[in-house]
Chain A
């Protein structure tokens, strides 16, 4: 099956199996391994990317469903050497321990902040990130980072 995707601004026409997942295409076909597969059962959110501007779990989107879509992964958010404000805030607040959940956390957090009509409270950030698990349980600093980043986005 042929699937056309724009990934981080570059156009790709990929030939994949009919049952390929978006996460397979990103990691295996395009080599973008920043999108992590944690649970592979739609629960942990480590594979979160943006599809047409909204956060989705790439392990629960069939590649064919994304045909013609615009995908942004963790590799696509920095501006050259200049990190995205959310990346800066995660680093400044030590919002990662092992780091496995971090790409998904950052992609979810960016959509969360961008979709909010007004500044988010800590409570709203916690609720808004309920689709992402940090198994190190490093949530306090993740919430601090998101609150910090929203002032700079």
Chain B
């Protein structure tokens, strides 16, 4: 208990080092500047300089102490820490010496200036990384082995159409570089963790592994990102640039897809709208299962072109199914040209589960023949006649057929008995007779027929007043 408290205290003091360090630098530089000014102006500032040097030395001492504690956390490159530490302590001793040794001050101050610059330089390397003052000009990324492999691969597969993807190289590493490297790379290993190469990511930090392949929630690399920002374990720490939700999601998908560091053949799936799996995860409602009567390939590029054309013609397209492989087409906005538009659907026919084609009197129903997965067909108020019903033979999955307001008669009705899956049939406002419906019902007893033969019983409009008082 006592030791952890002590550790926490020393960590706290250590963190003050970057803050404190600027006081002695400023004060001592001030003293040095006054000393040089005294030489040229022939005025006597020595008492002021003494005070400045004393204050500066005290702060330098405190800073050294804090720096020692900070270095003991072990997050820093040992070699540079060594130089920084001893040049810092030398600065402190030299400053204190010059307080007492007034006569040698001009010489001591020269050395002190050099020491301050040197210590500052090493400190900057520790904080900002090697080559920090040249950084904007030079991209310090090392060419990685997988980059070389990629170059080789490109030559190898030339002529083949195979595509390789590099999720780590292209998507994950850039995120880590911009959001994590500042604390977790060669210069600064907070928590003993480096994230700048495959080896270190797999190795983890002081507190254990950060990557559990295939399990993002157990990987601190992901899990710490989705903690609330106020949480101590949340990464990046408050105040640092945070990852965007898309970046978080990418890392999640990368880990769950097995955290591949090299090339993969399958492209990593990233859906721009699918933000549900990340920090704002909400439970999915799946009360009504998606109807999936048959497996069918999702749409390909050429098929999307067809759908685009249909949309241009103001046909409303609504997708369904787990892979959105099904569509329902609604021609509600279409005023003319039903037939040519219907002809355009040829290549996507098997994907169509629902068709709404109302209010057309020039329709060619033979175009409906091969919609083999069609489940709902609405032909209300069209020029359908008995002969056209034969075109429905190929509609093996048809469950619901709306023929209200058409010219179908009992003859056509009998042909509908062949549609094996038909469950609901709408026949209001047609030339079908009651006996025809009854005959169909005999053949298909389970078929629900809505003939619209409904009239209200007139209501008794004279309601008696019945309030009885006790």
User: Do A and B assemble together?
Assistant: no
Interface residues of B (CB under 8 A from A): none
